[in-house]
A and B are shown apart, each in its own frame.
Chain A
């Protein structure tokens, strides 16, 4: 059956934006038009699309802002940037800064241990041939059509870099821009590095939407610690897509934090291309009000003897909603696969919702795979115990929520990074958990 798709206001607007800004946007126009056509054929994903069952983007994203083709909003100086970066400002990092979808060279350090090149020329490329990003993915296509900037980061084989790369993606627009950024990260064989992707807004009044797509390729025995800090803002919609391919015995350790974003979808597509690869991906979703936070993982055990660990937690207040859907595919040849996943949600309000969807597609017979999920409220027995020791109710609740939330931070090996994230979490708990703090 061929049904003519009725385009939503947001879809129509984004298509018209591409037409209007085609001349200003860098790179191949034909590729952009093609990508927009692919996107337009199916439109924004909606709840009838299995991968978007719990995040009905078509319904949620009613409006889209103008595509950022040149600098919009105010100019940010280093001091201003440091203020919004909070605990991450004090970390010694090599910074690459994007303001409203444009690379700010003045605030960036492009030459350092990480080789960083603006991706303008690479925008035309389809991504690395080994990309783990799915073909025909709506958000990736939308990003291809409208991308304004990005960086191509590479770490030479064998390099051991202790100073992290900090990619800042800051929004300043209060009228709402549509920002699209695309990165490529290549970590050479035997190299080790930490990359922190920080998404935030200059103030709570910042509005708009963004798509960020990163293509990560890890060489044999390469080790990447990839931290994604999601503080996009309570009036912003963020779609962050990561593809990662692991070479033999490579290690991908990822941590994703989301705190108070109107809509956040963080989807990661990870594939092992060589035996003995290990991934450990964990994260924390903090949401209140009517915020919606979606973590989607697709882990493809394409080769034998790889290990995957996923552990996500959510703290949900008011009518907030979190989604954890994790698909683990174990191919027929992928014997000795060891996969485990766990999701835990703490509900602070009866109106909060947590949707957990583990999917195991196992075609091999000699594998160990498991999953689990828990949803709980604050334990009244624990609360009474703490209060019977003289701890006021607000403090006791905060202590219990903090202990639930920060446990997952222990996964982060770098102490400085862990401490910075802890500060962000504690800051959210102090303001995001409306309680009788006494």
Chain B
């Protein structure tokens, strides 16, 4: 279970708080969506969960499986099962995608006390999961994300998620820049990972993605706070009414 308790966060260089007292609980087996306007703090929340250093936790706590992950290194969090699918996955020239995947999976397995995969074992697993996501062999030979289309990058994110077998999946604007066909492929990949042992936090600006990844709960994030919580109907309602109603509510 993910428990975010009265979380206040600002950029490490100082300035105003971006998150101003977030309270959120996501039990395993559930999918929660976070919707909000631009600048509401959605991506900040995603990065803070993954352990990015550019942010300062002013107060509050984040517990995963009852343990505080605030202060944990990003790779430690990954070993604990936290995974962030990036809105803008990084292009890493010179590092072949396959090499990266094997390094990541084996480092994580090692930390989890599982046996590392041999090259042939790993190839077999990657081939199977890649086929499900329409990730071609040729993509795996190329440097990570370099020259990939928007859709290819997002499929690569979901492939990583499938291989690393996280228990907390955070999807940050996974639909941004994708056409309907690409959204469907990526969403199907994410849906395949839905299970009673996994919590999922889907961050999105638009309701569209939630047609494919149907959430159990929808939270509206604006001005650094959760403004409203409802079921999937709330997303449809927001599509009509917009986010304007939440402006200025947090003083």
Q: Could you tell me which A residues sit within 8 Å of B by CB distance?
A: 380-382, 384-393, 395-396, 399-400, 402-404, 406-407
Query: Could you tell me the distance between the alpha carbons of A390 and B83 in the complex, rounded to whole angstroms?
Result: 9
The answer to whether B94 touches A387 (Cβ under 8 A) is no
A389-B104 in contact given A399-B95, A403-B94, A407-B94 (Cβ < 8 Å): yes
Residues of B within 8 A of A384 (CB): 50, 52-53, 74
Query: Could you tell me the distance between the alpha carbons of A404 and B93 in the complex, rounded to whole angstroms?
Result: 8
Determine the residue in chain A with the shortest Cβ distance to B49.
A388
Query: Could you tell me the distance between the alpha carbons of A380 and B83 in the complex, rounded to whole angstroms?
Result: 18
Min distance, Cβ B234 to any Cβ of chain A, angstroms: 30
The answer to whether A392 touches B107 (Cβ under 8 A) is yes
Residues of B within 8 A of A391 (CB): 75, 103-104, 107
Query: Could you tell me the distance between the alpha carbons of A384 and B73 in the complex, rounded to whole angstroms?
Result: 10
Query: Could you tell me the distance between the alpha carbons of A35 and B95 in the complex, rounded to whole angstroms?
Result: 50
Residues of B within 8 A of A404 (CB): 94
B51 contacts the other chain (CB 8 A): yes
Residues of B within 8 A of A381 (CB): 90
Residues of A within 8 A of B74 (CB): 384, 387-388
The answer to whether A399 touches B89 (Cβ under 8 A) is no
B78 contacts the other chain (CB 8 A): yes
Query: Could you tell me the distance between the alpha carbons of A248 and B160 in the complex, rounded to whole angstroms?
Result: 52
Residues of A within 8 A of B94 (CB): 402-404, 406-407
- B38-54: contact bitstring with A at CB < 8 Å (1 yes, 0 no)? 00000000000011110
Task: Select one of A389, A396, A399 contacting B160, CB under 8 A.
Answer: A389
Query: Could you tell me the distance between the alpha carbons of A411 and B101 in the complex, rounded to whole angstroms?
Result: 26
Near A by CB (< 8 A), chain B positions 49-74 give: 50-53, 73-74
The answer to whether B92 touches A395 (Cβ under 8 A) is no
21 A-B Cβ contacts within 8 A? A380-B53, A381-B90, A382-B92, A384-B74, A385-B90, A388-B83, A389-B75, A389-B100, A389-B104, A389-B160, A390-B105, A390-B107, A390-B108, A391-B104, A392-B75, A393-B75, A399-B95, A402-B94, A403-B95, A404-B94, A406-B94
Query: Could you tell me the distance between the alpha carbons of A281 and B84 in the complex, rounded to whole angstroms?
Result: 42
The answer to whether A407 touches B107 (Cβ under 8 A) is no
Residues of B within 8 A of A402 (CB): 94
B171 contacts the other chain (CB 8 A): no
Q: Could you tell me which B residues sit within 8 Å of A by CB distance?
A: 50-53, 73-75, 77-79, 83-84, 86, 89-90, 92-95, 100, 103-105, 107-108, 111, 143, 160, 164
The answer to whether B78 touches A389 (Cβ under 8 A) is yes
Min distance, Cβ A342 to any Cβ of chain B, angstroms: 14
Residues of A within 8 A of B92 (CB): 382, 385-386, 400, 403
The answer to whether B73 touches A387 (Cβ under 8 A) is yes
Give 14 A-B pairs besides A387-B78, A389-B164 with Cβ atoms closer than 8 angstroms: A384-B50, A384-B53, A385-B90, A386-B92, A387-B51, A390-B104, A390-B105, A390-B107, A390-B108, A390-B111, A391-B103, A392-B75, A392-B107, A403-B143
Residues of A within 8 A of B51 (CB): 387-388
Residues of A within 8 A of B160 (CB): 389
Total cross-chain contacts (CB, 8 A): 70
Q: Top 7 closest A-B pairs, CB basis?
A: A403-B94, A390-B108, A390-B78, A389-B104, A387-B74, A385-B90, A387-B75
Query: Could you tell me the distance between the alpha carbons of A130 and B32 in the complex, rounded to whole angstroms?
Result: 76
Determine the residue in chain A with the shortest Cβ distance to B77.
A388
Task: Select one of B84, B95, B103, B111 contacting A388, CB under 8 A.
Answer: B84
Query: Could you tell me the distance between the alpha carbons of A392 and B108 in the complex, rounded to whole angstroms?
Result: 9
The answer to whether B79 touches A390 (Cβ under 8 A) is yes
The answer to whether A407 touches B93 (Cβ under 8 A) is yes
The answer to whether A386 touches B100 (Cβ under 8 A) is yes
Residues of B within 8 A of A406 (CB): 94
Min distance, Cβ A230 to any Cβ of chain B, angstroms: 22
Residues of A within 8 A of B164 (CB): 389-390
A388-B78 in contact given A393-B73, A395-B103, A399-B103 (Cβ < 8 Å): yes
Determine the residue in chain B with the shortest Cβ distance to A389.
B104
The answer to whether A385 touches B103 (Cβ under 8 A) is no
Residues of A within 8 A of B103 (CB): 391, 395, 399
Query: Could you tell me the distance between the alpha carbons of A386 and B73 in the complex, rounded to whole angstroms?
Result: 12
Residues of A within 8 A of B86 (CB): 385
Min distance, Cβ A148 to any Cβ of chain B, angstroms: 42
Min distance, Cβ A320 to any Cβ of chain B, angstroms: 21
Query: Could you tell me the distance between the alpha carbons of A379 and B216 in the complex, rounded to whole angstroms?
Result: 38
Determine the residue in chain A with the shortest Cβ distance to B101.
A389
Greatest chain B CB density within 10 A among A386, A400, A407 is at A386
Residues of B within 8 A of A407 (CB): 93-94
Min distance, Cβ B94 to any Cβ of chain A, angstroms: 3
Task: Select one of A390, A399, A400, A403 contacting B75, CB under 8 A.
Answer: A390
Determine the residue in chain A with the shortest Cβ distance to B94.
A403
Residues of A within 8 A of B107 (CB): 390-392, 395
Min distance, Cβ B113 to any Cβ of chain A, angstroms: 13
Determine the residue in chain A with the shortest Cβ distance to B104.
A389
Query: Could you tell me the distance between the alpha carbons of A110 and B232 in the complex, rounded to whole angstroms?
Result: 82
Min distance, Cβ A406 to any Cβ of chain B, angstroms: 7
Residues of B within 8 A of A396 (CB): 75
Min distance, Cβ B183 to any Cβ of chain A, angstroms: 22
Greatest chain B CB density within 10 A among A402, A403, A406 is at A403
Query: Could you tell me the distance between the alpha carbons of A404 and B143 in the complex, rounded to whole angstroms?
Result: 12
The answer to whether B50 touches A388 (Cβ under 8 A) is yes
Min distance, Cβ B104 to any Cβ of chain A, angstroms: 4
Greatest chain B CB density within 10 A among A380, A381, A389, A407 is at A389
Min distance, Cβ A426 to any Cβ of chain B, angstroms: 13
Residues of B within 8 A of A388 (CB): 50-51, 74-75, 77-78, 83-84
Min distance, Cβ A24 to any Cβ of chain B, angstroms: 51
Residues of A within 8 A of B143 (CB): 403
Query: Could you tell me the distance between the alpha carbons of A392 and B75 in the complex, rounded to whole angstroms?
Result: 6
